[in-house]
């Protein structure tokens, strides 16, 4: 079976609201080391939160993403990637719409310990 190619621009066009991550692929489906590849449009401020059980990767596709930590802010442009270690509190935000590919294990909620209205449904596929 020939795997299908994934076009990020086509998939992002199907996402109509910011802070609504959608799964586009899964690596190692069904085994403990699986990873979900999601696309999300980011604009404005997210909630400060942390993930106790996993690291999280942010790969910026377009725009400019700021990830605020307690003592510093990291800014990423298109093609930039940042790994946030588990238990490190962070807050993503973007002034203008930014497209990001978060990479995380299945079952990782985006607001993890913070909860609230910005918590997206887990593992929703495009």
Per-residue DSSP letters for 6-71? --HHHHHTT--STT--EEEEEESTTSTT-EEEEEEEEEEE---B--SS--EEEEEEES-EEEE-SS
CATH code where residue 59 lies: 2.60.120.10
Average pLDDT over residues 93-114: 82
Closest CA to 111 of 102, 100, 103, 120: 120
Residue 57 lies in a domain: yes
- Report how far Cα 82 is from the mean position of its chain's Cα atoms: 11
Which pLDDT score, from 0 to 100, does residue 124 have?
78
In a domain, 72, yes or no: yes
* Distance between CA atoms of residues 62 and 42, nearest Å: 10
**Domain total in the chain:** 1
pLDDT band, residue 13 (cuts 50/70/90)? very high
CA distances from 71 to 3, 43, 88, 91, 119 (A): 43, 22, 11, 12, 25
Classify residue 123: in a domain, yes or no: no
0.85 exceeded by the pTM?
A: yes
Give mean pLDDT, residues 40-44. 95
Rounded average pLDDT over 69-84: 97
Does residue 39 contact residue 99 with C-beta atoms inside 8 Å? yes
Q: Kindly state the average pLDDT of the residues 33-53.
A: 91
| 124 within a domain of the structure (yes/no) | no
Q: Which domain holds residue 56?
A: 8-104
Is 65 within a domain?
yes
> What's 104's DSSP letter?
E
Is residue 52 in a domain? yes
């Amino acid at each position: 079976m020939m795997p299908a190619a994934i076009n990020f621009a086509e998939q992002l066009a199907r996402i109509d609201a910011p802070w609504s991550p959608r799964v586009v692929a899964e690596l190692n489906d069904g085994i403990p080391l699986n990873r979900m590849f999601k696309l999300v449009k980011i604009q404005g401020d997210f909630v400060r939160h942390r993930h106790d059980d996993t690291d999280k990767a942010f790969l910026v596709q377009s725009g400019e993403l700021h990830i605020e930590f307690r003592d510093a802010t990291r800014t990423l442009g298109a093609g930039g990637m940042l790994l946030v270690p588990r238990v490190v509190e962070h807050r993503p935000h973007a002034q203008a719409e930014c497209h990001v590919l978060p990479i995380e294990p299945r079952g990782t909620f985006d607001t993890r310990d913070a909860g609230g209205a910005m918590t997206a449904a887990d593992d929703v596929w495009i």
